[in-house]
Structure 1
Amino acid sequence: MILRRTVLCLGLAQLIAWGISYYLIGGFGEMIAADLGWSRDLVYGGFALALLVMGLTSPLAGRLIDRHGGRNVMIAGALLNAAGCITLALCHSLPVYYAAWICLGVAMRLTLYDAAFAALARIGGPEARRPIAQITLLGGLASTTFWPVGHFLADHFGWRGALLAYAGFALLTVPLHLAIPNGRYEDLAPREAVQKHRPLAASGRDLVLAGGLYAVITTLTNFLNAGMSAHMIAILTGLGVAASTAVWIATLRGVGQSSARLCEVLFGRRLHPLTLNLLASMLLPFAFIAGLYGGEFGAAAIAFAFLYGASNGIVTITRGTLPLVLFDHRTYGAFVGRLLAPSFVLSATAPLIYAVVIDRFGQAGALYLSIAVAAVTLTAAVLLKSLFTRP
């Protein structure tokens, strides 16, 4: 149903799109603040604004993909990514800076995983689980690739030159998105295959319950992801890790993500998405507990980055595959787009909340906050599995 070429092209596009947009602030935030003389809150507030825009545009983006397919929507997002990076590179005032992040917010919603998952669900239906996992393999290496690349470019051309290069990378994703077919699963699959799939949450009550628990899990894991993307390097350096070492340890997050996703692709076919989601949620608290000892033991810092990456990597996959078993795949984009909207809105506050917590309570305070959020996530995952596992 879904060609390998499509999966490969989408995977490469995800690697680039995540690296030049979502992980941009983690690599350049401190440089921008130092160069322009702005406070950390103002600089990271741009990324928060972009996440808020993602939430506001999420339902519309899902409907557009359901109706028109992923190809044109994701190409438009790639062009907006390039425009946002160029505007950011040329900005000298706060209004222009925030305008660039508004542009990037729309671009991220149209190009990152949730758009790609909806595009795959449209053409693959319930058979999209494996392709969804496969495209995340390369996407998981975005921070591992683009944080060092960004630092290298910034060292040679400044952060503005690095962002102009990022705009060029964004344009490279346009031909990759052209590989997405515009057909629908119902038009391409045999009728028996279409009728075979029955969602676990079929009744109105089950839809509300499953949708609510799914929204809690995605909202809290996106909150953690936004906070760690913006502050993981700063947390490590604040704990006492040398700056250059902190950058490379933080890149192990990407290694953990892709390693866990590779294991899922190779061995996870027998695991139900509900079980996989529970196992990933169980890893989260242990990752942040290890982080508390990262300043004293290098191995703990490494475990923090790697375990968090592994857990986040699997949760990202189940964010795409859970709706395939819980809900009707024919309305994947629109329905999941509505459920994801709160996650982007709350994520918009994460960089600022973490910045305030770090300023007032130090890096340990940020990690204790993360442990509490991870515990709530685990509780929701346990409930979802216990309530919707078929005998």
Structure 2
Amino acid sequence: MLKVNALSERMPVAAVVALGVTQIIGYGTLYYSFSILAPDMAAHFSWSSEWIFGALSVALLIGGLSAPWLGALFDRIGAGRVMTIGSAAAAVALVACAMAPGKTTFVVALIAIEVAANLVQYGAAFALLVQLRPQVAQRSITYLTLIAGFASTIFWPITAALHAYLSWQHVYLVFAALNLLVCLPLHAWLSYGAARRKTASSALPTRTEGILTPDLRFVGFTLMVAGFSLQSLVSSAVLVHMVPLLSGLGLGTSAALVGTLFGPSQVLSRLINMTFGRNLQPLRLALIAAALLPAGVVVLVLTAPSVPGAMLFAVIFGMGNGLLSIVTGTLPLTLFGSDGYGKLQGKMMSARLIVSAIAPFVLALSMQRLGFIWSLSITAALGAVAVLAFRAIDGLVRNGRRFS
């Protein structure tokens, strides 16, 4: 029995490292590269930048509508198998986007990219880690997000460097190859390992309990989704426009340099959490993340066009986003337990993507009509509401414990 418990409490290091590699490639090729390539996409199809980001918003929205079904699929056939299929789908979608002869086929291919992204990014990876070993899933998720935090730092310059020599279409073909030749084999290996572990580990504990009582779960889930959706709205709006936003505020050539601080700041927040926050509950971490995102935007508003101020913004915002990535995996597990975790992730992903899908388009339009400062101020105010949502969940947990 001691051996069983020791095995169930051992973190699956190889799986975490492999997923770290695939998450870097998944986020880098399917998300972070878009803002670098968008201007040439717009020129190629004779669209304004607002309409290109509008197409991205439509793709994110439809991808969000597919997420609940995908979440149920994680539980039914296993997250590893879903991620393997997703890598192939991502490669095909990137090729289709690169080969699109017109605007309509381009948008359809972009939609396919966003649906495929839901199959291979954090929601699926977190579900796989919970399915592997639920007892140590929170620790595994923390380490995974630490590795994957380098995605923007790696892929913004890689995309820019490739684009200096290749068209956006050829860059997408290179990225398709990465998903097919690197991510697919790793996901297939993880899927095979998960299936073997499930057979060999039938004696291991297979579930963890949540801290919310059944009568409080609906309210708790609603508040959690509201908080994460508002944070995702702020994060997606600012991240997609990071470099052009900083340039528009007068930072000029310093914009790209400031943007490179974002990735390391994500990693820094996760390192700090791993070192000093091991006993910090996910709900407390969610509150900190919710406060950091709007705080970073406020710093940018108050200091623009100061380069040191923009650097401070990138650090604060990056740290908040880094912690957000952790708590979207650990907070649902803490509040609701491991049973049906994949389906829960799917519902949460859907709500977050639907609410935040319009963020890049709306921010682009807002910056055009209202200016950068007013647009960022409104974004910061929306982000601050997320703090209230997590405070309310904290109240629910306290009341539940009081009357239990």
Which of 170, 182, 189 is the aligned partner of 2:194? Answer: 182
**Equivalent residue number for residue 201 of structure 1:** 212
Q: Distance in 1 between matches of 2:39 and 2:293?
A: 27
Q: Distance in 2 between matches of 1:20 and 1:113?
A: 14
TM-score (norm 2): 0.91
Q: Distance in 1 between matches of 2:59 and 2:271?
A: 30
Q: Distance in 1 between matches of 2:319 and 2:251?
A: 21
Which of 385, 391, 394 is the aligned partner of 1:376? Answer: 385
Please list every run of 5 or more consecutive structure 1 residues that lacks an aligned counterpart in the other structure.
none
CA offsets, 1:312-353, max 9 Å, x none? 110111010011111131200112312331211111111111
**Equivalent residue number for residue 35 of structure 1:** 44
Which of 48, 61, 67 is the aligned partner of 1:58? Answer: 67
Q: How large is the Cα RMSD of the aligned pairs?
A: 1.9
Cα distance, 1:220 vs. partner?
A: 0.9
Which stretch shifts more, 6-15 or 133-142?
A: 133-142
Cα distance, 1:23 vs. partner?
A: 1.3
2:123 aligned with 1:114: yes
**Equivalent residue number for residue 336 of structure 1:** 345
Q: Distance in 2 between matches of 1:332 and 1:185?
A: 16
Paired AA for residue 127 in structure 1 = V
2:366 aligned with 1:354: no
Paired AA for residue 302 in structure 1 = M
How many percent of aligned residue pairs carry the same amino acid? 31
Q: Distance in 1 between matches of 2:269 and 2:116?
A: 27
CA offsets, 1:187-212, max 9 Å, x none? 83756x557x4311231x31111101
Number of aligned residues: 387
Cα distance, 1:375 vs. partner?
A: 1.0
CA offsets, 1:93-115, max 9 Å, x none? 11111111111011110011011
Cα distance, 1:34 vs. partner?
A: 2.6
Q: Distance in 2 between matches of 1:134 and 1:246?
A: 29
Instruction: Kindly indicate whether the alpha-carbon contact (under 8 Å) linking 1:126 and 1:324 is maintained by their aligned counterparts in 2.
Output: no
Instruction: Kindly indicate whether the alpha-carbon contact (under 8 Å) linking 2:234 and 2:380 is maintained by their aligned counterparts in 1.
Output: no
Q: Distance in 2 between matches of 1:256 and 1:385?
A: 27
Q: Distance in 1 between matches of 2:206 and 2:118?
A: 28
TM-score (norm 1): 0.94
2:248 aligned with 1:235: no
Residues 186-265 of structure 1: matches in 2 within 5 Å? 188=201, 193=205, 197-203=208-214, 205-242=215-252, 244-265=253-274
Q: Distance in 1 between matches of 2:198 and 2:324?
A: 25
Q: Distance in 2 between matches of 1:361 and 1:186?
A: 58
Cα distance, 1:186 vs. partner?
A: 10
Residues 298-309 of structure 1: matches in 2 within 5 Å? 298-309=307-318
Paired AA for residue 91 in structure 2 = A
Which stretch shifts more, 174-183 or 314-323?
A: 174-183
Instruction: Kindly indicate whether the alpha-carbon contact (under 8 Å) linking 1:256 and 1:313 is maintained by their aligned counterparts in 2.
Output: yes
